[in-house]
């Protein structure tokens, strides 16, 4: 059931893979995305009704990789010796060459899907792997072709280093498919027993990463899920926030320090420098690496509007679970080992949890606005969007169409009610940003005061939206 749901949010990706499979001849694709995003589930589901072979590459030496691959192939044949799919190592080598491995999984007729997961673990230590793979793919053209899917969770390496590393083998690539986070709408469908407010809170913790969703139970409250499935030392998610960094980066002490600083509210380069006492040059390099892994983003105010009143650029943790870990667990880990999880939640999470969720609520509102834009249900059809981060206030969303008409939005999750004063505030922010607000959208989790409701009836360019409408 769960896998079926996950795939319902990946229909365009499945169609993409099927299009390549149905083409004549051989194809080699790279499918990549962050850890737990659902790459393996997607490609295994795509291949399950086709002749297929799957291998998960280990982080080890080239020789050990060959040995481990040989073990898997022998086990495959031993566990199902009567299976007529041609997967075997006829020569019985303990350390088969890559050519031996590819020949072992080839088919005499038809087309097989070969999935090599975390393939960067091989490429980084082997100069011959890609050459042998390309040679094998070309040989299979005579037999009906083969479809090779190379999967990776190393986003930065794929986007910045892979082409250089694999050299001429890059010319054999048919396409690259990046698997992105699922939307807020998908998490609502995934957890039907959660109230809409609880879905926002779950999204703020787990993001659009389906592999993490599977750890939550919508028959429990958000608090119960946090205590049972995150704060509990025996839970799978207890150290996952730090593992997401350690699995992809060396010098984790430096990265942890920078992430902890950002989570503590040090969003500007100078603030991070003063907090960590690392050199600015060093911080910049490490931030660049974190951005390549899509753990951190640098935010600039939209289109240079109100430049003199805007922040020069601030850094945010954009991976929700990493942010949750470094906000609520990393600084207080000693206490988590000392007091009960219930007491820990009430002391260190509950007091500012609504403020924490407010950042995610802005993302939810942005997705909703983009959906309306796609459907033509806004007063403008915007072509560009962003936000304005001012020295004294901010505008959560700015969207502009080809004619220069502008829509701005303010998103309130933290306060119990959005008031007329909030409306006046966003107007004053627009003035400081030198933005003519043709349309104003106000989003809230709780409701609007009487004066604001009355204003919305009078002014046609003012739209009030509650979270239940999103």
- Residue 310: predicted pLDDT: 60
Range with lowest mean pLDDT among 49-63, 72-86, 190-204: 72-86
Q: In whole angstroms, what is the distance from residue 128 CA to residue 393 CA?
A: 56
Q: Pick the residue with more confidence: 377 or 308?
A: 377
Range with lowest mean pLDDT among 8-22, 303-317, 388-402: 303-317
- Residue 88: predicted pLDDT: 61
- Residue 305: predicted pLDDT: 55
29 in Cβ contact with 150 (< 8 Å):
yes
Token pair belonging to 292: 């390549």
pLDDT tens digits, 228-278: 999 999 999 999 999 989 888 889 999 999 999 999 999 999 999 999 999
Q: Domains for the chain: give ranges and CATH numbers.
A: 2-178 (3.40.50.300), 184-356 (1.10.10), 363-469 (3.40.1350.10)
- Residue 389: predicted pLDDT: 87
- Residue 48: predicted pLDDT: 92
Q: Pick the residue with more confidence: 393 or 375?
A: 375
Most confident range (mean pLDDT) of 21-35, 88-102, 291-305 is 21-35
- Residue 8: predicted pLDDT: 63
Q: In whole angstroms, what is the distance from residue 40 CA to residue 211 CA?
A: 10
Instruction: Work out the average pLDDT over 142-153.
Output: 90
Instruction: Work out the average pLDDT over 363-391.
Output: 93
Q: Pick the residue with more confidence: 391 or 333?
A: 333
Report whether pLDDT(9) > 60.
yes
- Residue 216: predicted pLDDT: 97
Instruction: Work out the average pLDDT over 34-52.
Output: 93
Full-model pTM: 0.90
- Residue 106: predicted pLDDT: 79
Q: Given pLDDT bands bounded at 50, 70 and 90, which one contains residue 416?
A: confident
Torsions phi, psi of 212, nearest 5? -85, -30
- Residue 344: predicted pLDDT: 97
pLDDT tens digits, 281-327: 999 999 999 999 899 999 988 875 556 666 678 999 999 999 999 99
- Residue 96: predicted pLDDT: 87
List C-alpha distances in Å: 46 to 20, 21, 152.
Answer: 12, 10, 17
Report whether pLDDT(158) > 50.
yes
pLDDT tens digits, 186-214: 999 999 999 999 999 999 999 999 999 99
Q: Pick the residue with more confidence: 9 or 425?
A: 425
- Residue 90: predicted pLDDT: 55
Report whether pLDDT(87) > 90.
no
- Residue 80: predicted pLDDT: 55
Range with lowest mean pLDDT among 2-16, 21-35, 39-53, 250-264: 2-16
Q: Given pLDDT bands bounded at 50, 70 and 90, which one contains residue 89?
A: low
Report whether pLDDT(73) > 90.
no
pLDDT tens digits, 325-360: 999 999 999 999 999 999 999 999 999 999 999 999
């Amino acid at each position: 059931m769960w896998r079926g749901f996950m795939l319902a949010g990946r229909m365009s990706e499945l169609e993409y893979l099927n299009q390549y499979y149905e083409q004549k001849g051989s194809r080699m694709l790279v499918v990549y995305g962050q850890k737990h995003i659902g790459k393996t589930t997607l490609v295994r589901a795509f291949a399950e009704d086709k002749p297929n072979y799957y291998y998960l590459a280990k982080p080890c030496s080239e020789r050990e990789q060959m040995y481990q691959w040989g073990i898997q192939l022998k086990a495959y044949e031993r566990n199902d010796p009567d299976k007529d799919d041609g997967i075997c190592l006829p020569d019985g080598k303990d350390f088969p060459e890559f050519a031996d491995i590819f020949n072992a999984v080839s088919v005499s007729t038809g087309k097989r899907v070969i999935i090599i997961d975390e393939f960067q673990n091989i490429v980084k230590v082997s100069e011959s792997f890609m050459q042998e793979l390309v040679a094998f793919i070309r040989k299979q053209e005579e037999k009906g072709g083969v479809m090779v899917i190379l999967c990776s969770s190393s986003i930065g390496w794929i986007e910045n280093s892979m082409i250089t590393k694999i050299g001429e083998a890059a010319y054999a690539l048919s396409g690259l498919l990046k698997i992105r986070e699922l939307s807020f709408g998908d998490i609502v469908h995934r957890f039907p027993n959660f109230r809409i407010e609880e879905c926002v809170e779950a999204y703020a913790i787990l993001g659009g990463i389906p592999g993490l969703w599977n750890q939550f139970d919508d028959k429990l409250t958000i608090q119960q899920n946090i205590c049972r499935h995150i704060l509990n030392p025996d839970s799978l998610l207890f150290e996952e926030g730090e593992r997401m960094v350690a699995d992809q980066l060396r010098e984790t002490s430096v990265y942890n320090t920078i992430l902890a600083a950002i989570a503590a509210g040090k969003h500007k380069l100078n603030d991070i420098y003063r907090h960590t006492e690392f050199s600015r040059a060093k911080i910049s390099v490490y931030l660049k690496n974190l951005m390549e892994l899509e753990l951190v983003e640098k935010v600039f105010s939209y289109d240079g509007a109100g430049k003199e009143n805007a922040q020069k650029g601030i850094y945010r943790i954009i991976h929700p679970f990493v942010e949750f870990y470094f906000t609520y667990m990393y600084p207080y880990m000693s206490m988590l080992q000392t007091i009960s999880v219930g007491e820990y939640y009430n002391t260190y999470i509950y007091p500012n949890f609504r403020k924490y969720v407010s950042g995610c609520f802005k993302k939810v509102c942005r997705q909703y606005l983009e959906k309306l834009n796609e459907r033509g249900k806004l007063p403008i059809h915007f072509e560009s969007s962003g936000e304005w981060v001012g020295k004294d206030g901010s505008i959560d969303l700015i969207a502009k169409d080809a004619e220069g008409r502008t829509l701005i939005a303010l998103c309130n999750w933290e306060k119990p009610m959005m008031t007329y004063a909030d409306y006046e505030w966003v107007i004053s922010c627009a003035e400081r940003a030198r933005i003519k607000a043709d349309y104003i959208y106000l989003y809230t989790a709780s409701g609007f005061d009487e004066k604001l409701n009355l204003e919305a009836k009078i002014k046609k360019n003012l739209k009030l939206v509650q979270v239940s409408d999103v």
